[in-house]
Structure 1
Amino acid sequence: MAAASFLPLHLPASPRQATRAAASSTAPAATAQTSSQLEETFGRKGLKFGTDSTGAPTAELSVRNGSSLQLRLNDGLVTSYRPKVYWKDELSYREVLHTVAGADAVRGGVGLVLNDASSTSLLAGSEWSVADADSDSYDAVQVELACSAGKLEVSYVVTLYALSMATAVIVKNGGSKPVELTSAVLSHIKFDTRRGTAVEGLRGCPYCTHPPPASGFALLTPAEAMKREESGGWFGGGGGEEEPRQGAWTVEENQYTILKKKVSRVYAAPPEERKKRIYSTAPSKFITIDQSSGLGFRVVKMGFEDMYLSSPGGMYEKFGNDYFLCTGPASMLVPVVVGPGEEWRGAQVIEHDNL
């Protein structure tokens, strides 16, 4: 799947003519619009507006087979993704994301990180607006959020399909100077138990221990993610190899990367390798493995150079009974340079064939 064919802001042509809401470029911020106003302007089959437990405005996307997704409009956080799957010998709807809702904050889910090269968030304090919505009435629904960050215009497009969900970011530089960006789309994927959590598809890829980018939706802080977990015990690895020190590169040798211990890694081509004319990039996708539920999901990256992957080890108990991974495409090690008048695009897709 080519990035160019996937990232346009509106849904590709389908057998049914897609409808499109007319939206003003000066639409008010999502936080200033009521659910009824959003419904009147953007509502359609498969797209409803409401609020979550914190009072934040939300959009609920659904498609014909019953798969659904919930999106917070003030910060672009996807808090729920429930695709239709074949599970426990019957068709059902399974929550993929691990989300923790407090009295005034929601963390986990799928969120966008967009920083400048000094690791300062470009989205902090930004007011998102619903810029557009689109659907084919049956098998795809899409919402586009927009905000300004200085001279940058940011679009964040969330799309639900019958067998997948996608989040795409487009950054346009309207200034007179180039900007350097580090970014990520990070997903907290739920697992039934700590035992039997793994991913497949990273064998042969270099990686290094690295903290996650700081974000308001993260479950583990960068310091917590990097804190070493003691060896030994039932889950500690029984004397297995320790994680390499930060900055030290190694190569993934296992077909299945077991993630019951705490890890915080970036899988990527080392920055020095990228100075060569030809070099091997990180895999464009991998598959999660949950031996307890028997379900697997592909995480696909487009437009990003790196793939971040972490597991909480024993710290998962701070955030409920379910185990989880934090993962997603990123450009963390080498900033992306966006020149004046240029744009940069990146996307993540979570897809499955559990039917």
Structure 2
Amino acid sequence: MTMMVFGSLFCSTRFIPTPFNNPATNILSPRHTCATFIPHKQCKREFPLPAVASVPYQPINLDYLQEEFSGHGVTFEGAGDSCVAKMELKNGSTVTMMLPSGLITSYKALMWHGGKMELLHTAVSEGEDGGPIIQGGVSLNFNFQTDDGQHSWSPTNWVLHKIHGNAKKSIQVELTNRTPDDKIGLQYTVTLENDALNSELEISNKRSLPLRMTGSILSHLTLSSPEATYAIGLEGSSYYNTPLLESEFMMSPEDSGQEEGFGETSQNNGSEGSHLNNEEIDNYKQLSEKLSLLYTEAPRNFTVIDRGRRNSVSVGRKGFDEMYLFSPGSSVEIYSKCSYICVGQASILKPIIINPQDVWRGGQYVYNPNLDA
């Protein structure tokens, strides 16, 4: 029954998953804790993120959310111990987000032909305990460590703080997260506009030591097929082949971690081979090959064109120097559970340093240019 409830809340429920586990000093606040989604399998990672502690979720108070935050074009619906927040504009564009995980599971955008199209790829499957495992979409996957290595924190439990805007122009949902001593504070703002979905982070460090931030904003874009999909504007960019990134919400084709082509350096385990620099020579890059690439020098914006669905999406970033690109390749069945690519705005090879008393800002911008046609 639980699986049926979750399945009805997503536009696409035809897909698959991967994970992330590591012990570390946990300084996560006990005030807002949330049932961890258990991933199916673990893939080797070339550029590991710092260790994080696994934290259970607590049930959401749906009545409180409906009473305090309904309006502005946002509605709430219970889903097991979690909650789905739905943002909807007058032009028909919608976004759904899971609370307290902050996972964006759907972005339906208005198209040039007057209809709506799902732009995100999301999987709902059943875990070993019978509960739902939800992966894909747009997720935050970050870890923070102090320079002395004494503390490690991975924010997973987001608290709804404010909602701004209206259904006519734009809707802005603001989530917050912080350590129990209030020394590290995060603000995650998701904005739905008539032609865009923006995911922005603001991180404040009130500790006496610098913070090292690693991780990514991962976005799974649904496609007709990687064979019909092209990345436009990456010519001249520097990149490394890398194994699949690990995340609680990262999707991968079944057994892809053992297949050739997903990072030529997967067996080097961080050795010299993993730092072989390549340069992108194609400005119209077909994504039909199996690939898992980390771009260290790439444009702040590039475009993904899907000829099969006759649409395009522009993806931009701010604050991040690295960009991750994953494709399962053209061997997957058209319009199948593996018809997607993953784009990540990342700090993997080079951690972002947040000095004491400083504030860092960054984000990802998904722009729908199809209304311009």
TM-score band (shorter)?
A: 0.7 to 0.9
Please tell me whether the aligned partners of residues 225 and 310 of structure 1 are also in contact (alpha carbons under 8 angstroms): no
**2:90 aligned partner, one-letter code:** R
| 1:257 to partner: Cα distance | 1.2
Corresponding position of 1:123: 154
| 1:177 to partner: Cα distance | 0.8
TM-score scaled by length of structure 2 = 0.73
Structure 2 alignment gaps of length 5 or more: 1-30, 35-57, 127-131, 263-272
> CA 1:291/1:123 → structure 2, altered by over 3 Å: closer, same or farther?
same
Q: Does 1:257 align with 2:285?
A: yes
Q: Does 1:191 align with 2:253?
A: no
What is the distance in 1 between the residues matched to 2:351 and 2:235? 25
Corresponding position of 1:138: 168
1:116-175 deviation digits (Å, cap 9, x = unpaired): 469x97326x43211111113411111111112463211111110010101011111121
What is the distance in 1 between the residues matched to 2:322 and 2:341? 16
Identity of paired residues, percent? 28
| 1:229 to partner: Cα distance | 3.8
Please tell me whether the aligned partners of residues 142 and 157 of structure 1 are also in contact (alpha carbons under 8 angstroms): yes
Corresponding position of 2:70: 43
| 1:314 to partner: Cα distance | 6.2
Q: Aligned with 1:158: secondary structure?
A: strand
Please tell me whether the aligned partners of residues 301 and 316 of structure 2 are also in contact (alpha carbons under 8 angstroms): yes
> CA 1:212/1:193 → structure 2, altered by over 3 Å: closer, same or farther?
closer
Match of residue 210, structure 1, among 242, 251, 258: 242
Corresponding position of 1:8: none
May I ask how many residue pairs the two structures share in their alignment?
298
1:301-333 deviation digits (Å, cap 9, x = unpaired): 01110111010126856x944510010211211
Q: Aligned with 1:83: secondary structure?
A: strand
Q: Aligned with 1:91: secondary structure?
A: coil
1:170-191 deviation digits (Å, cap 9, x = unpaired): 1111211111111311100000
Q: Does 1:351 align with 2:367?
A: yes
Please tell me whether the aligned partners of residues 329 and 348 of structure 1 are also in contact (alpha carbons under 8 angstroms): yes
5 Å matches for 1:56-71? 56-71=82-97
> CA 1:143/1:289 → structure 2, altered by over 3 Å: closer, same or farther?
same
| 1:215 to partner: Cα distance | 1.0
> CA 1:46/1:225 → structure 2, altered by over 3 Å: closer, same or farther?
farther
What is the distance in 1 between the residues matched to 2:193 and 2:364? 13
Please tell me whether the aligned partners of residues 144 and 213 of structure 2 are also in contact (alpha carbons under 8 angstroms): yes
The root-mean-square deviation of aligned C-alpha atoms, in Å, is: 2.8
**2:122 aligned partner, one-letter code:** T
What is the distance in 2 between the residues matched to 1:184 and 1:77? 13
What is the distance in 1 between the residues matched to 2:216 and 2:261? 25
Corresponding position of 1:105: 133
| 1:346 to partner: Cα distance | 0.8
**2:175 aligned partner, one-letter code:** L
Corresponding position of 2:325: 309
5 Å matches for 1:270-309? 282-309=298-325
What is the distance in 1 between the residues matched to 2:187 and 2:209? 20
| 1:45 to partner: Cα distance | 3.2
> CA 1:76/1:129 → structure 2, altered by over 3 Å: closer, same or farther?
same
Match of residue 119, structure 2, among 96, 105, 108: 96
What is the distance in 2 between the residues matched to 1:226 and 1:345? 36
> CA 1:64/1:29 → structure 2, altered by over 3 Å: closer, same or farther?
farther
**1:185 aligned partner, one-letter code:** I
Please tell me whether the aligned partners of residues 295 and 354 of structure 1 are also in contact (alpha carbons under 8 angstroms): yes
Please tell me whether the aligned partners of residues 114 and 121 of structure 1 are also in contact (alpha carbons under 8 angstroms): no
| 1:201 to partner: Cα distance | 0.8
Please tell me whether the aligned partners of residues 60 and 81 of structure 2 are also in contact (alpha carbons under 8 angstroms): no
What is the distance in 1 between the residues matched to 2:33 and 2:164? 19
Match of residue 83, structure 1, among 109, 113, 133: 109
Please tell me whether the aligned partners of residues 29 and 129 of structure 1 are also in contact (alpha carbons under 8 angstroms): no
What is the distance in 2 between the residues matched to 1:227 and 1:105? 24
1:74-109 deviation digits (Å, cap 9, x = unpaired): 1110000001112xxx31110001100123210000
Corresponding position of 2:44: none
Structure 1 alignment gaps of length 5 or more: 1-26, 231-244, 270-281
**1:98 aligned partner, one-letter code:** H
Q: Aligned with 2:275: secondary structure?
A: coil
What is the distance in 1 between the residues matched to 2:179 and 2:32? 16
